[in-house]
Amino acid sequence: NMAAAAPERLTGGGLLRKKAADAVDDDDSDEKIEIAWKFINADVIDKMCEAISNTTLDPLITVLDLTDNKLGPQGMQRIASTMESGFITDCIVRFNEIGKEGADGMSLVVESSQTLTNLDLRGNKLDAVSIRKLMKAVGDTQQLRLLGLGGNDLGCDGAAYVAAALTRNTSLTAAQLWKCGFGPDGAEHVSSILAHNSSIKSIDLWGNRFGAEGISHISKGLSHNTTLTRLSLGENKIGDVGIKDLAKAIENNSTITELDIRSNGLTPDGVAVMAKGLKNHSSLQSLHLCSNNVGIDGAKEILNSLTSTSLTELDLWNTQLGSKGAKIISDWMIANTNIAAVNLASNNIDNSCVADLSNAIERARSLEFLDLVSNDINVEGAEMLLQSVEKNPSVVSLSLHGNNINRVTQKKINATLHERRVKIGMEIVVCTAL
C-alpha cells in the first residue's frame, strides 16, 4: 500500500522510519511466506506450494520472500509451476542459485501471472544464457513494476538481453542491476535503456566497472532521458575523466532527484567538474559522494553549486574533509533551509570544529539526522553536541559510535534521542544493504 508507506532514511547503520500519524499498518491485509538463511527441503517446498495454490485461504498468499535457502533449480521450478496459477504479487528469491532451469520456470510465471509486480532474483549466480528466456518474458509483460537482477554475473551479453527487454517494457518503474559485470561494452546496452525506456524512475547500476569509457555511453543515454528520478552509479571507476561526460548529462537533466556516485576515484578536481553540472539542478534532493577524495576544495565547490537545489540529504562519508571541511559543511547547513540528513562519518573530525557543528545542529531547524561515526571527537565534544541537540527538537539521530567517548555519554545520547523518537512515533528497523 504505497499510500501508507512512510519516508525512510538509512543512517548510522540502521533504518529510521518515521510513521505518519494516520498511516495504516496493512501487514494483516496480505499473507506472506518469509524464510531467510535456512535450508528448505522438498517437504517444506511442497507445503509452501500447497499454501500458495490454496484459493480458500483468507487472506491469500501474495508475498513469497526466500533468502539463501539452497532452493536450487529444481526447488525454484517447483515453486514457479505453482505460482503460474497463484496470486503472488511479490516474488523475492535471493541467493538461492536457481540456475537456468529456475529462471526459465520464472519466465513462465511472468508470461502467465496476472498479479506479479515485483520479481527479485538478486544474487543467484545467473549468467547471460540463464536469463535469456526470462528477459523475453519481461519484455512482453506489462505487469511487472520492479525487477531485481543485481549480483548476477550477466556480462555484456546479459546487458544486451536486459536492454532488449527493458526498451520494450513500459510498466517497470525500478530496476536493480548492480554488480552485473556489464563492463564498458555492456554500458552501451544500458545506455539504450536510459534513452528509450520512459517508465523506469529508479535504476541501480553500481559496481558494474563501467570506467570512463562506459560512463560516456551511460551519459549519452541519460541525456535523452526525461523520467528517471534516482540514479545509482557508485563503484564504477568513473574517475576525473569520466565525470566530465556525466556532469554534462546531469547539467541538462531536470528530473533526477537522487544521485549516487560514491567510490569512483574522484579527486577535488573531478568533484569541481561535477559541481558545475549540478549548479542549476534545482530538483536534486539527495547526493552521495562518499569514499571519493572530495577534500576541502571539493567541498567548497560542491556546496556552492547546491545553493539553488532543494537538497535534503548529503552523504560525505569518508571524503577526507577533516575538521576544516566539517566547519565549511556546518556553515552551509545553517544557510540551507531544507537539509535533513548529513553524513560526515570517517572524516578525521576532532573537537576543533565541535563548536561549529554544535551551532549548526542548534540553528539548522530542518536537520533530523547527523552521522559523525568513526571520527576523533571526545567526551567533552559529545556533551556539547548533545546540548545543541536538546535545543533543536527536529533532530532525531546523532550517531557518534567509533569516537573517543565513553559508554555513559553514549547512553545519554541514545536515551535522549530514543525518547524523542518515541514521542513522535519513529521506529528503528535494523536492515542489511544487499
pLDDT tens figures, 152-197:
999 999 999 999 999 999 999 999 999 999 999 999 999 999 999 9
pLDDT tens figures, 244-261:
999 999 998 989 999 999
Which is nearest to 371 in space by CA: 411, 338, 326?
326
Do 338 and 363 meet the contact criterion of CB atoms below 8 Å apart?
A: no
d(CA 412, CA 232) in angstroms, rounded, equals: 36
Percent of the chain with pLDDT over 90: 82
Q: Span 27-39, mean pLDDT?
A: 81
Note the pLDDT of residue 426: 73
pLDDT at residue 372 greater than cutoff 50: yes
pLDDT tens figures, 260-314:
999 999 999 999 999 999 998 889 999 999 999 999 999 999 999 988 678 999 9
Cell representation of residue 62: 501474495
What distance lies between CA 109 and its chain's CA centroid? 27
What distance lies between CA 252 and its chain's CA centroid? 23
What distance lies between CA 46 and its chain's CA centroid? 34
pLDDT at residue 424 greater than cutoff 90: no
Higher pLDDT, 407 or 274: 274
What's the CA angle centered on 229, arms 225 and 234, to 5 degrees?
95
Cis peptide before 268 (omega within 30 of 0): no
Higher pLDDT, 209 or 1: 209
pLDDT at residue 27 greater than cutoff 50: no
| Alpha-carbon dihedral sign for residues 358, 363, 368, 369 | negative
pLDDT tens figures, 35-49:
999 999 999 999 999
Q: Span 232-242, mean pLDDT?
A: 98
Higher pLDDT, 291 or 59: 291
Return the SS3 of 269. Answer: helix
Do 277 and 306 meet the contact criterion of CB atoms below 8 Å apart?
A: no
For 129-181, the DSSP string reads HHHHHHHHHHHH-S---EEE-TT---HHHHHHHHHHHHTT--S--EEE-TT--
What's the CA angle centered on 143, arms 139 and 144, to 5 degrees?
70
For 316-379, the DSSP string reads -TTS--HHHHHHHHHHHHHH-SS--EEE--SS--BGGGHHHHHHHHHH-TT--EEE--SSB-BH
Which is nearest to 294 in space by CA: 346, 218, 256, 334?
346
Higher pLDDT, 402 or 19: 402
Q: Which of 60-64, 277-281, 425-429 has the lowest mean pLDDT?
A: 425-429
pLDDT at residue 24 greater than cutoff 90: no
When pLDDT is cut at 50, 70 and 90, the band that residue 28 belongs to is very low
Note the pLDDT of residue 10: 35
d(CA 133, CA 82) in angstroms, rounded, equals: 19
Which is nearest to 364 in space by CA: 308, 311, 404, 429?
311
Cell representation of residue 61: 498468499
Q: Please state at what angle helix 99-112 crosses helix 72-83, rounded to 10 degrees.
A: 10
Note the pLDDT of residue 14: 34
DSSP helix, strand, coil percent of the chain (3-state; round to 5): 45, 15, 40
